[in-house]
Structure 1
Amino acid sequence: MGRTIVLALALIAAALLAWLQLDPPRVRPADAPADRFSAERAMADVRVIARAPHPMGSHANRLVRDHLVRRLTELGLAPEVQAEDVWDQREGRELVLAGGRVENVIGVLPGRDRAAPAVLLMAHYDSVPGSPGAADDAAGVAAMLEIARALKAGDPPARDVVFLFTDGEEVGLLGARAFFAGHALARRVGFVINLESRGGAGRALMFQTGPENGETIRLFARSAVRPAATSLSQFVYEQMPNDTDFTVPMEAGIPGLNFAFVGRPFEYHSPTATPERLDRGSLQDLGAQALAATREAATAEALPTRTPEVVFADLAAWVIAYPPIVGWAILAAAAALLLVAAVRARRLDAAASWMDLAQGAGAFLYLLLLAAALLRIARRATGTPFGYLDQFELYARGPLFEAALVVIGLSATLYAAAALARGKTRIEAAAIPATAGLACSLFGGFDAVGAGIGAAGAVLGLVTFGRAASLPGAWAGVLATGFLTACAAQAAAPTAAVLLVWPIALAAASAALVALAAVKSFVDTLIAAFVAALGLAWLGPYLHMSFLAMDLPEMLAVYAALAALFIWPLAHPRIGGGGRLTALGLLVIGIALIGVIRFTDPWSERHPQPATLAYVVDTARRQAWRVASAGEETAWARQVLTADGGTIARRPLPPLYPEPVAAAPARWLDLPAPAATLATGLEGARLLSILPPAGARSLTIEIRPTVALAELAVEGNRTGLTAPAGQWTRIRWVGDPDGVSLAFRPEGAGRLEVRYWSAADAWPPGAIPPPPTPRKVMPFGASGATLVVGELQAQW
């Protein structure tokens, strides 16, 4: 019982320490010293920028552009507006070209050496449709303005500092592409600092540097203020399909730092992302980190160059960085400590048998699979689908869901330790993961992955828990398996292996200090608890970031296994198996929390339900539809859909909605349609021109030729691409009232199908408008848009 209490205290201490690491810094007031960053001062700009949604090409976005020009003029940075037509290529199931007319705003703070490579700060000022974008990315934009003011309050920097406020990031990094492709200043940039966010709160993470980052990390380490950074985040981000403006200079080989705060994901791209909901501590953290890094780069004798990659992570107030080979030295030290622990344990007549070691190894792998099966069924049992908007149900109860997953993962760790101490639990140990794995198929159809994880866990349960194992032997087996796993990670991905290498080294030190827990003194228990609290506190922010970044709760089983490295000597009962009841009790608590999530209403005035509605006018068929692609089950959405007396049914409406959506017939409105023409040029070339109607913010074209179209050019710019025969190619053009032209050369006689539609960010005139939005519903994204569809066919 005493060790159970100590374990509970260690877990509480770890949770508190982890929370302190995740808590943003204190906000500096508006009267803070002039050379310091103040979130209160920056909030004045956030309130202006995030007054309303301002997507690229909108009137509201032009108002933000004008505000930035005024602010840079007040700061004496001689602003310039770079207006360019630019496009971006995306390839998936179909070729997509996204582009439009961007208006970047640029200012320069002159340095003492105007010929030296410049430092560039970058953030985007456009938002997604429907969101004020207070965090994404008004926070970054306002932080840049406050950084410019703070830099001007001090001595002139050694080199120019360029402030680039990009347009069109949300459409496809268009502003960044326009600047680095064509602006004269781009050739002078030697270092980039990008400011972003993914949510409305959280610490400012330095999560990306680009490759060959040795000197970059050394610069960051010199300047970092209570840093939050790890090479693991960069490794994970590189595996994801996400991009930020930083991608563009990184691909061009320019070193730099990418900062973002990630927390409160309900505010990401949401109508609730208002200035009032923005966490000012997060803004303070973002601005203070970026100001420190900018000062360091702007005053450095030389900017970082591309040097060999390093492994790095934050530890308390420092950034620890080292070449990847040092990871092997840390593992060698861990091996030596494990050897010391084994020798000390042997001298205390607590040598482990090979069977105990094997059972400890099996228990480590078992708890990994058990936790994965339990966490997977927990996610599926919430009843929340896996779509982007569907996840807002979980975002609305984020802390509750995270607590449930942590409790369930911890129950798996405690159960494995207690069951191995008791022995004779193989049937029970096999039944729990098998049942959890099979139960995954109760929600959403047969789940082969869940069943497979559960079956593997059941096999390990049968072969591992037939006899009781001693604590020294079991813990040694756990540590040995963790050590081998860390070695494999170090060999495969050294920059990501820090998550395993550091914990195994710390756990090995604990094992050496307490002689693998062979000594039964209370002092040794306190030592083990102290080390466990430190190790789990360091892992806590990693677990939290993993929870926020990926809707894959079973991946959190890794943290349940890593926790075992530290808490095994406290969780392994010396006599009997009473710890099993504690573990099962925690599992029941976790299940109860999942039940609360499943059977209670997630929506409130603070967390309203997303709904996306549009008015579609099909000029080719002279039909109109009221459509809900999300939130159609709300009474408000049903009232909107049936306003013209139509009956709601789920149906596809290509090309806008290839998958079934809730739609009801609407009153036909003779709205202006995009004007399309197809002309013949010299030597068989063709030119397709489409002009959007007045008020349209975006225009989308889909073409499907019967023969391949070569020499594809958008707005006179050659893409180097070919439109394949028989496949749809999509071009989305934003923010250009002059429309878009597409030139191509057919590879022989053929026919062309063209589908096109314009989008205006308002309900059509003459239509019955939606009733007032209930407080528990939020129109999301482009909700409320009018979509006018047309078709064209031609042959040659």
Structure 2
Amino acid sequence: MGRLVALIAALVLGVALAWWTQQPPRPAEGRPADRFSAEAALVDVRAMARRPHPVASAENARVRSYLLSRMAAMGLEPQVRSGTGLFTRSTPQNLQVSAAPVQNILGVISGRDRSAPAVLLMAHYDSVPNSPGAADDAAGVAAALEIARVIRAQGAPARDIIILLTDGEEAGLLGADAFFRRDPLARRVGFVINMEARGSAGRVHMFQAGPQNAGAIALLREAAQRPSANSLSGVIYRHMPNDTDFTRAMEAGLPGLNFAFISRQFDYHAPTSTPANLDAGTLQDMGDQVLAAARVAAFDEALPQKGPDQVYAHLFGDLLIAYPPAAGWLVLGLAAGLIAFGFVRARRAKALAWREALQGAGAALYLLFTAVALLHLARAGTGAGFGWLEQRGLLAQPGRWELAIGLVALGTLLFTAAELARGRRLPAALLSAGAGLGAAVLAGKPDVVGLGAGAAGAVLAAIAFGRPAARSGGWAGVLLVGLALALAAQIAAPEAAHVVAWPLLAAGLAAAATSTAARRSYAALGILALVAVLSLGWLGALAHLMHQGLDMPELVALPLLLAAFSLWPLAQPAEGAPGWRGIGPALMIAGAVIVIVIRLQPGWTARTPQVAAVVYHLDQDAGRAFRVRTADASSPWTDAVLRADGGTPAPHDSWAFWGKPPAAPATLVTAPAPDLRLTAADNGALRLLATSAGGARVLTLRIRPNTALALARVNGAPVGQQLRPGAWNTIRWEGGPAPLELILQPAGPGALDVRYSMLVESWPAQARPLPPRPAGAMAFDNSDSTVITGTRRLSW
């Protein structure tokens, strides 16, 4: 009974500790001179995030005027740095370009040494269409201004502090491109701090450090204002397609720190990203952490120097541990020594049998594969598709979904430990195989992940659960698997190996102190419970971040296995303890019930409305018009919109849309076409000038040359990319009425096929108006807009 009490206490306190570490601080009251005030920053957020303000929009200009006035009142002597921002992606098949005229805003806090490398404090002030952008990134801009106020109140810093508010980030990091690649002021920068968001709540994380980050991490450790950082996030982010303005700073070789918050992701790029839905505690956390780092960078005698990348992670409170990757071998060696000490003592006490240790190792691997299969089944059971829009039903109820994952995961651990004690193959094998088959049935097709993990778990059950194993042997096997995993991680990814090595080290301490669970005293139980609480608290926070950052609940199986390093001696009952056997299945059943509730109740409310994205498509070549549903989310409202002109929805086959979205014929309206002119330029080049019409903010050209052709410049910004004959290349210009100028360098006479698409961010006035949208639906991305398409052929 004492062990069961210790287990329950460890689970409750460990989860509570994990929850506590992920709570943002309380907002500061008033406006203290030496502290960041979320209350003051929210005033700026409310002023900026009244309406969507994408690049080159009238609302974007209003926000810019507000910021210029605000910064001038602060004495920052703001200026607008205009230019063309570019984002290019080249493949052997084609070229994709995003561009816009950007208006970066710059202010300076003068330092004592104006010639010293400056600190750059950066955020972007544009939003995506149809989102006010209170979190992304009005929160970052407001934080930058409030941080500037506090720094100015402390007197002149050692060096200049440049506040850079970029434009066009959402269109492809365009303002950062214009600054870091073409603005001469960028050469004065010595250290960069960027602020971003992918949600509207939660803790703020320093998730990406610049190249050769030893100095930057040392600065973060010195600042240490309840930081949240882990080098694992940098390793993961490095392999993801996501980017922020900080990417351009890293490409320029600048050191720095990148901060963001990602909880409540339903609001990311959504109409619900309003000032009212932005968590004030999260804004306080952003200000506290960034101000602490910026203050050190501003007032220290020297900026951080580059050095080899570090392993780093926050434990609890202000404690941030960092060391060179090679030092990970010392951590691993210490863990191995402690585990070996515990094994030797257990063998002397005749409590540890190697056969049982091998069974424990098999049980640990069974836990990993079965958890993957069950979590994969749970994801399939929700009925939500995969993709940013498809998973919104889960984002609408994040707490419920995370609770289901946690219950299934912990239930799997307790079931595995209990079955190892009982020594029965069949229940364990059926659970794993059934999970894999269930995922395949729900998917309606062969499922490699589910079937593979389920089959592996069933085989391991047959090998490991043939006879009962004692607790010491079972735990020893789990620790041996941990040692092998830590060794592999240290070899393959030393910057991330601490995620395995630290929990293993904690478990090694417990193994040595309790001689691998052979001691049966209350003191031994207390040690096991304490280590389990700390490990679960740290790993629970890590699992929470993994769950939020990636729609892959199967990954939670890894921190579950790591938690087993310390939980196992409490989780495995003595042989023949029937009272324990039902705990794991009960937790798994509870998680399954929640999954069923999620499937039956998607969670659409006025606070979390369903995506409803429709556009009016005018095909000027065919002289036809369509009502198109651009998001894969049907509802009575979208169905009514498509049928409003009496048409029947059918797949819409048009180059202007992804896939073949449903569409119905619409009443034809008239609209002007863009003005496309191809003329001769200097040195045998061609000049293609494209001007949108009808109030369009976005003009997209798809161009296909029939001869060798190079795209030399876009609105004066150099590109220098060859365009393959016969291939379609895309240039997206978010410039509003400003013309798009392409300088092309042909190899000889030829022709250019041009497909144009203009986006007018309003429904046509002549068309039948959209019906009132219900409270449980929201206009997402470019919904309620007009898309005008056509083709031209230009020759020279």
Q: State the TM-score bracket (shorter-chain normalisation).
A: over 0.9
Query: Which deviates further from its counterpart, 721-730 or 163-172?
Result: 721-730
Shift in Å, 1:680: 4.3
Question: How many angstroms apart in 1 are the aligned matches of 2:14 and 2:718?
Answer: 57
Instruction: Using the TM superposition, give the Cα deviation of residue 746 of structure 1 relative to its aligned residue in structure 2, in angstroms.
Output: 3.4
Q: Deviations over 1:440-473 (max 9, x none)?
A: 1122322122111111111111111101112111
State the SS of the aligned residue for 2:593: helix
- Structure 1 residue aligned with 2:56: 57
The answer to whether the 8 Å contact 2:696/2:736 transfers is: no
Cα separation, 1, equivalents of 2:67 and 2:249 = 23
CA distance in structure 1 between the partners assigned to 2:138 and 2:626 by the alignment: 35
Q: How many residues align?
A: 792
State the SS of the aligned residue for 1:626: strand
CA deviations over 1:315-364 (Å, ceiling 9, x no partner) = 222111111111111111111111221122233231x2221111111111
Q: Output one character per residue of 1:516-537: Cα deviation in whole Å (capped at 9) or x when no partner.
A: 1112223312221111011100
The aligned residue for residue 335 of structure 2 is 334
CA distance in 1, matches of 2:211, 2:254: 10
Alpha-carbon distance in 2 for matches of 1:482, 1:577? 27
Where does residue 669 of structure 1 map in the other structure?
A: 669
SS in 1 for 2:99: strand
Q: In the TM superposition, what is the alpha-carbon distance from 1:292 to its structure 2 partner?
A: 1.1
1:787 alignment counterpart: 787
Q: Verify the 8 A CA contact 1:413 1:563 in the aligned structure 2.
A: no
TM-score (norm 2): 0.97
**How far is the alpha carbon of 1:601 from its aligned partner?**
3.5
Distance 1:12 1:247 in 2: 40
For residue 575 of structure 2, give the secondary structure of its aligned residue in structure 1.
Answer: coil
Deviations 1:271-307 (A, max 9, x none): 1000000000000000111111111001111111211
Q: Which moved more, 1:748-757 or 1:186-195?
A: 748-757
CA distance in 2, matches of 1:238, 1:175: 22
Q: Which residue of 1 aligns with 2:428?
A: 429
- Aligned twin of 2:355: 355
The superposition leaves residues 487-516 of structure 1 with CA deviations (integer Å, 9 ceiling, x where unpaired) of 110111111111101000000101111111
Q: Is the 8 A contact 1:204 1:286 kept in 2?
A: yes
CA distance in 1, matches of 2:531, 2:394: 33
Which residue is equivalent to 2:692? 692
1:694 touches 1:737 (CA, 8 Å); kept in 2?
A: no
User: 2:611–2:633: 8 Å Cα contact kept in structure 1?
Assistant: no
What is the match of residue 622 of structure 1? 623
Q: Which residue of structure 2 lines up, in the alignment, with residue 530 of structure 1?
A: 530
SS of 2:164's partner is: strand
1:669 positional shift: 1.0
Partner of 2:606: 605
Return the alpha-carbon distance in structure 2 between the equivalents of residues 586 and 315 of structure 1. Answer: 28
AA matched with 1:139: A
The 5 A counterparts of 1:565-584 are: 565-576=565-576, 578=578, 579-584=580-585
Aligned residue runs from structure 1 range 106-121, under 5 A? 106-121=106-121
Tell me, yes or no, if the aligned pair for 1:652 and 1:658 is still in contact at 8 Å. Answer: no
Shift of 1:716: 3.8
In structure 1, what is the equivalent of residue 286 of structure 2? Answer: 286
The letter for the 2-side match of 1:357 is A
- CA deviations on 1:525-561 (whole Å, 9 max, x unpaired) are 2221111011100111110000001111111110121
Report the counterpart of residue 175 of structure 2 in structure 1. Answer: 175
Q: CA deviation at 1:723?
A: 1.2
TM-score after normalising by structure 1: 0.97
C-alpha distance in 1, partners of 2:94/2:576? 61
CA distance in 2 between partners of 1:421 and 1:491 (Å): 34
User: In structure 2, the residue corresponding to 1:771 is in which secondary structure?
Assistant: coil
1:256-335 aligned within 5 A: 256-316=256-316, 317-335=318-336
Partner Cα separation in structure 2 for residue 725 and residue 458 of structure 1:
54
Identity %: 48
Rounded Cα–Cα distance in structure 1 between residues aligned with 2:421 and 2:740: 71
Letter in 2 for 1:610: V
> What is the CA-CA distance between 1:230 and the residue it aligns to?
0.9
In the aligned structure 2, how far is the partner of 1:430 from the partner of 1:663? Answer: 48
For the pair 1:729 / 2:729, whether they are aligned, the reply is yes
Counterpart CA distance in 2 for 1:652 and 1:711 is 29
Contact 1:631 1:637 in 2 (8 A): no
Deviates more, 1:730-739 or 1:749-758: 749-758
2:590: which partner in 1? 589
Aligned partners of 2:414 and 2:15: how far apart in 1? Answer: 17
Separation in 2, partners of 1:195, 1:717: 27
1:219-241 deviation line (CA, Å, top 9, x unaligned): 11111201101111111111111
For residues 273 and 719 of structure 1, the distance between their equivalents in structure 2, rounded to whole angstroms, comes to 35
Other structure's SS at 2:156 match: coil
Structure 1 letter corresponding to 2:33: A
Q: Is the 8 A contact 2:711 2:742 kept in 1?
A: no
Match of 2:190 in 1: 190
1:395 aligns with 2:378: no
The offset of 1:631, in angstroms, is 5.8
Aligned pairs for 1:433-512 (under 5 A) are 433-444=432-443, 445-512=445-512
The answer as to whether partners of 2:432 and 2:454 remain within 8 angstroms in 1 is yes
The Cα shift of 1:653 comes to: 2.1
Aligned residue for 1:18, secondary structure, equals helix
Structure 2 unaligned regions, length at least 5: none
More moved, 158-167 vs 337-346: 337-346
Displacement of 1:736 after TM fit? 4.3
User: How far, CA to CA, are the matches of 1:170 and 1:159 in structure 2?
Assistant: 30
Q: What whole-Å deviation, never above 9, does each CA across 1:118-148 have from its counterpart, x for those lacking one?
A: 1010000000101011000000000011111
In the alignment, the residues of structure 1 paired with residue 748 and residue 434 of structure 2 have an alpha-carbon distance, to the nearest angstrom, of 61
The 5 Å alignment of 1:132-147 reads 132-147=132-147
Amino acid at match of 2:251: E
Q: Provide Cα deviations, 1:24-65, integer angstroms capped at 9, x if missing partner.
A: 011002x23212100001000000011111111111110000
SS in 1 for 2:582: helix
Q: Could you tell me whether the CA contact under 8 Å between 1:699 and 1:739 is conserved in 2?
A: no
